[in-house]
C-alpha cells in the first residue's frame, strides 16, 4: 500500500514540475509579446507625432538610409530629402586592372602640306602659241603651277599611341558610392510646424554647427 502511495506522490510531483516549466515558458513568451507590442505602439506614436511635424533632416553627405514611416507625410507623399542607399565600403573586389593613358602627347598624323606650303610659279615657256615679232608675251601667255616650298616632310611630328603610352592601373569599377554611415530619422530631424521660417533656419544652423 505504501508503495502505491509513493508512486502517486512521485507522479504528482513530476506533473507539478512539468506544469511549472510550462507556466514559466508561457510567462516568458507573454513578456516578449508585451514588450514588442509596447515598442511598436511607441514607434507608431512617434511616427504619428512626427507626421504632424516638419522634416528638417540635417544629415550631410552620403549616408545609408532606408525610407520608413517618418519619411512620408500624412498624405503618404515622400518628404525625405535623403536617397535610399546601402552601406558600402570599397574593397579589392571593387577595382579592376585597366590600361591608363599616361602619354602627354596628342595623337597626330604629323605635318600635312596645305596651301601655305606651295607657291604659284610661272612656267618658263609660253603656252599662248603666238610667235611673231609684233607679239610680246605677257603673264597671260604662260601657264602657272604650284611649287612646293615647304621644307617640312609630310608626316613629321606624327604620333599614334602605342603600348608604351599606357600603363596598367587599378581603377574603381564597382559603380557604387562609398557609404560608411547609417542614418535613421530621430527627433532632431523634425521641427514644430508652427515655428517661423527664421526659427527653423536658426535651428538647422545650430545643428549644423554642432556637427
Query: Which residues face 72 on adjacent strands?
Result: 78
Residue 100, in any domain of the structure: no
| The predicted structure's pLDDT at residue 162 | 94
Structural domain boundaries, residue 207: 53-88+176-211
pLDDT along the chain (211 residues), means of 10: 51 57 62 55 48 70 86 86 89 92 94 93 85 83 90 94 93 90 83 62 64 52
Residue 136, in any domain of the structure: yes
For residues 43 and 62, state if they share a domain.
no
| The predicted structure's pLDDT at residue 141 | 85
Residue 135, in any domain of the structure: yes
For residues 9 and 45, state if they share a domain.
yes
Residue 133, in any domain of the structure: yes
Rg of the chain over CA atoms, in angstroms?
45
Residue 204, in any domain of the structure: yes
d(C-alpha 158, C-alpha 106), whole Å: 9
Residue 35, in any domain of the structure: yes
Contact 55, 70 (CB under 8 A): yes
Neighbours of 73 (CB within 10 A): 15
pTM of the predicted protein model: 0.38
| The predicted structure's pLDDT at residue 110 | 94
Contact 53, 192 (CB under 8 A): yes
For residues 20 and 60, state if they share a domain.
no
For residues 40 and 63, state if they share a domain.
no
| The predicted structure's pLDDT at residue 47 | 45
d(C-alpha 83, C-alpha 88), whole Å: 14
Q: Count up the domains in the chain and report the number.
A: 3
Residue 33, in any domain of the structure: yes
| DSSP structure class, residue 153 | P
For residues 188 and 143, state if they share a domain.
no
For residues 31 and 134, state if they share a domain.
no
For residues 187 and 202, state if they share a domain.
yes
For residues 84 and 129, state if they share a domain.
no
For residues 78 and 181, state if they share a domain.
yes
Residue 164, in any domain of the structure: no
| The predicted structure's pLDDT at residue 59 | 78
Contact 173, 95 (CB under 8 A): yes
Amino acid at each position: 500500500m505504501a508503495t502505491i502511495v509513493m508512486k502517486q506522490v512521485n507522479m504528482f510531483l513530476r506533473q507539478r514540475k512539468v506544469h511549472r516549466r510550462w507556466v514559466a515558458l508561457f510567462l516568458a513568451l507573454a513578456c516578449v509579446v508585451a514588450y514588442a507590442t509596447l515598442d511598436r505602439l511607441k514607434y507608431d506614436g512617434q511616427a504619428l507625432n512626427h507626421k504632424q511635424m516638419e522634416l528638417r533632416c540635417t544629415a550631410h553627405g552620403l549616408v545609408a538610409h532606408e525610407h520608413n514611416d517618418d519619411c512620408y507625410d500624412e498624405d503618404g507623399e515622400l518628404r525625405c530629402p535623403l536617397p535610399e542607399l546601402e552601406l558600402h565600403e570599397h574593397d579589392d573586389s571593387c577595382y579592376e586592372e585597366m590600361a591608363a593613358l599616361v602619354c602627354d602627347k596628342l595623337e597626330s598624323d604629323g605635318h600635312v602640306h596645305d596651301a601655305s606650303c606651295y607657291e604659284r610659279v610661272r612656267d618658263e615657256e609660253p603656252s599662248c602659241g603666238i610667235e611673231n615679232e609684233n607679239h610680246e608675251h605677257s603673264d597671260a601667255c604662260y601657264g602657272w603651277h604650284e611649287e612646293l616650298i615647304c621644307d617640312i616632310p609630310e608626316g613629321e611630328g606624327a604620333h599614334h599611341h602605342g603600348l608604351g603610352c599606357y600603363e596598367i592601373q587599378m581603377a574603381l569599377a564597382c559603380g557604387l558610392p562609398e557609404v560608411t554611415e547609417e542614418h535613421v530619422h530621430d527627433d532632431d530631424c523634425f521641427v514644430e510646424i508652427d515655428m517661423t521660417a527664421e526659427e527653423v533656419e536658426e535651428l538647422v544652423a545650430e545643428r549644423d554647427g554642432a556637427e
